[in-house]
Amino acid sequence: MNKHNPILNIRVVLSHTTHPGNIGAAARAMKTMGLRQLYLVKPRHFPDAQADAMAAGADDVLRDAVVCTTLDEALHGVVFTVAMTARVRDISIEVKTPREAIPQLLQHAASHPVAMLFGTEMSGLTNEETSKAQLLVKIPTEPEFSSLNLAAAVQLLCYELKMAAQNDLQVTPEIQPASHEQLEGYFEHLERTLLEIGFFTTQNPARMMQRMRRLYARARLEPDEINILRGILNVATEYNARLRARYQEEMKNVPEH
Amino acid sequence: MNKHNPILNIRVVLSHTTHPGNIGAAARAMKTMGLRQLYLVKPRHFPDAQADAMAAGADDVLRDAVVCTTLDEALHGVVFTVAMTARVRDISIEVKTPREAIPQLLQHAASHPVAMLFGTEMSGLTNEETSKAQLLVKIPTEPEFSSLNLAAAVQLLCYELKMAAQNDLQVTPEIQPASHEQLEGYFEHLERTLLEIGFFTTQNPARMMQRMRRLYARARLEPDEINILRGILNVATEYNARLRARYQEEMKNVPEH
């Protein structure tokens, strides 16, 4: 029981898994999301070289895996179990999507061991196995092609756990937007430059600047980027002035006809 | 282009995949969530029996897979690309979680082809590949064990798409994004112009172009806007073109010695 990290109280229970590669891939999927407790109910082949290969570095999870002969053994001490299903049965346990079910599981995991239960590759869980769960989870799929790879289903549930666990902790870093004055300074500079290099001779300046404002509003410019863009404007103006001077100089030397 | 089901406008692009089993597993993952368009950029082995085995019934997706020699080919006609990354790079496009990014992708998919881009099993995408995307997606993972199996990552993103599509409000995108080719044409023109006007004498060109790509990726340029921006580039270098034309004209009239 881990009081500080609920994720560590969550068991992944794989029942009667046929292909050892799927056990290894499930271990890898768990470890990417911070889960460590793997329980295997009568796996056909385990340990196995194929499991090791697919674990791709999650060999600690495989090494610590608990091999059980019954599901009851694997669920010993667990207070809340969600069971995967690919079909909606007529039995009366509630069926939810992973997104609905996982927060509930996580809540229980804050204080007790809990489990996510997965059946065999071909036929999933038996009704008897399913009946030991408190909640059924159905991953939304295309009705005519609904069977996920076992490890892919484990990955998806572990990901939902990770997302739910960090929901209130972390926000992805936003960009550092430039200030109003920095933006206005840029637009003023842009308009002046476009006038200087002769862009507005064929364009309506006000309308064009509106379009530029709209474009850069979507980009939400950062102060650094404004510096770069203004640097380009400066160089373009210098270049243009230099060439224009040369052009006019040469034109002057052309004898008039 | 499918107007009724945005999911069908989404390409899964796998670049330089090493293990054919992962291609098959990715096809299966896609099909469970209703995606059909698989693009393979230089796969090491394809078609392959291992791919067929792992597809587990998604052989139609494999059969229709488009094998390309370049990423540009795979992204032809695409207006919005999200690229997977396992690490946060120092200079990069905006990075979001799948849950943040997918609704944006789906919105574009309502009216245009879009893409989700995945790199190789060992090293992911190159910086050059990543730079062609408008948005980076990082799946939240444990920092010390962050590498998902390729097909597991595809499963997860396709699942997020399915979830987003289900509670979709079907908002029509307010902007008309430019195509991949139009964008690349602009960046090529921008780089050429910055070189010509002498901007790169004090700047690192590659780094600067990365920053420009990042900025304009956020803006999601429209075709009209690209025309305007390229018009500005033309005007900025126009005097040089005139000078050159005049010079060539004069050289022609000079008798050979």
- β partners of residue A40: A14, A67
- Residue B206 within a domain: yes
Residue A247 and residue A154 in one domain: no
- Residue B174 within a domain: no
- Residue A122 within a domain: yes
Q: Could you read off the pLDDT of A214-225 as tens digits, one per residue?
A: 888 778 889 999
- Who has greater pLDDT, A176 or A213? A213
Give the domain range for residue B48.
Answer: 6-166
A1-10, A166-175, A181-190: which is most confident: A181-190
Rounded CA-CA distance B177/A215 in Å is 11
Residue B50 and residue B149 in one domain: yes
- Residue B171 within a domain: no
Rounded CA-CA distance A30/B253 in Å is 77
Residue B154 and residue B205 in one domain: no
Residue listed under structure tokens 């803006």: B219
Q: Evaluate if residue A176 carries a pLDDT over 80.
A: no
**Minimal Cβ distance to A199: which of B28, B175, B235:** B235
Q: Evaluate if residue B255 carries a pLDDT over 70.
A: no
Q: Could you read off the pLDDT of B20-70 as tens digits, one per residue?
A: 999 999 999 999 999 999 999 999 999 999 999 999 999 999 999 999 999
Mean pLDDT of B242-255: 68
Mean pLDDT of B4-14: 93
Rounded CA-CA distance B89/B128 in Å is 13
- β partners of residue B67: B40
The predicted structure's pLDDT at residue B170: 44
- Residue B172 within a domain: no
List C-alpha distances in Å: A94 to A130, A135, B187. Answer: 11, 6, 54
- Who has greater pLDDT, B204 or A172? B204
Tell me the percentage of chain A whose pLDDT exceeds 90: 59
Name chain B contacts of A232, Cβ cutoff 8 Å: 194, 199
Residue B94 and residue B150 in one domain: yes
Torsion of CA B173, B130, B29, B152, to 10 degrees: -130
Pick among B28, B94, B95, B142 to test the A interface (most A CBs inside 10 A) = B142
Pick among B80, B94, B155 to test the A interface (most A CBs inside 10 A) = B155
CATH number of B109's domain? 3.40.1280.10
- Residue B18 within a domain: yes
Q: Distance (Å) from the C-alpha of residue A193 to the closest C-alpha of chain B?
A: 9
Residue A51 and residue A91 in one domain: yes
Neighbours of B87 (CB within 10 A): 11
Q: Evaluate if residue B172 carries a pLDDT over 50.
A: no
Residue A116 and residue A203 in one domain: no
Number of alpha helices (DSSP H) and beta strands (DSSP E) in chain B:
11, 7
* 3-state secondary structure string across chain A: CCCCCHHHHEEEEEECCCCHHHHHHHHHHHHHCCCCEEEEECCCCCCCHHHHHHHCCCHHHHHCCEEECCHHHHCCCCCEEEEECCCCCCCCCCEECHHHHHHHHHHHHCCCCEEEEECECCCECCHHHHCCCCEEECCCCECCECCCCHHHHHHHHHHHHHHHHHCCCCCCCCCCCCCHHHHHHHHHHHHHHHHHCCHHHCCCHHHHHHHHHHHHHHHCCCHHHHHHHHHHHHHHHHHHHHHHHHHHHHHHHCCCC
Pick among B5, B19, B108, B145 to test the A interface (most A CBs inside 10 A) = B145
- Residue A173 within a domain: no
Give A179's pLDDT tier (boundaries 50, 70, 90). confident
Q: Model ipTM? A: 0.77
CA closest to A100 among chain B residues: B163
Residue A194 and residue A147 in one domain: no
**Minimal Cβ distance to B32: which of A56, A97, A141:** A141
Which of residues B166, B198, B223 is at a domain's end? B166
Q: Is the Cβ–Cβ distance between B93 and B219 less than 8 Å?
A: no
The predicted structure's pLDDT at residue B174: 59
Q: Could you read off the pLDDT of A118-163 as tens digits, one per residue?
A: 999 999 999 889 888 888 899 999 999 999 999 999 999 999 999 9
Which of residues B139, B166, B193 is at a domain's end? B166
The predicted structure's pLDDT at residue A173: 44
Q: Could you read off the pLDDT of B198-210 as tens digits, one per residue?
A: 998 877 899 899 8
CATH number of B233's domain? 1.10.8.590
Which of residues A166, A193, A226 is at a domain's end? A166
Mean pLDDT of B134-163: 95
Give A88's pLDDT tier (boundaries 50, 70, 90). low
Q: Distance (Å) from the C-alpha of residue A85 to the closest C-alpha of chain B?
A: 14
Residue B114 and residue B223 in one domain: no
Rounded CA-CA distance B46/B32 in Å is 21
- How far does chain B reach from its first CA to its final CA, in angstroms? 62
Structural domain count of chain A:
2
Residue A114 and residue A191 in one domain: no
What does R_g of chain B's alpha carbons equal in angstroms? 21
CA closest to B174 among chain A residues: A218
Residue B215 and residue B152 in one domain: no
DSSP string, B67-108: EESSHHHHTTT-SEEEEE-SS--SS-S-EE-HHHHHHHHHHH
Q: Evaluate if residue A164 carries a pLDDT over 70.
A: yes
CA A59, A63, A69, A70 dihedral sign is negative
The predicted structure's pLDDT at residue B91: 55
Residue A184 and residue A236 in one domain: yes
- Residue B173 within a domain: no
Residue A141 and residue A58 in one domain: yes
Q: Evaluate if residue B190 carries a pLDDT over 50.
A: yes
Rounded CA-CA distance A231/B16 in Å is 38
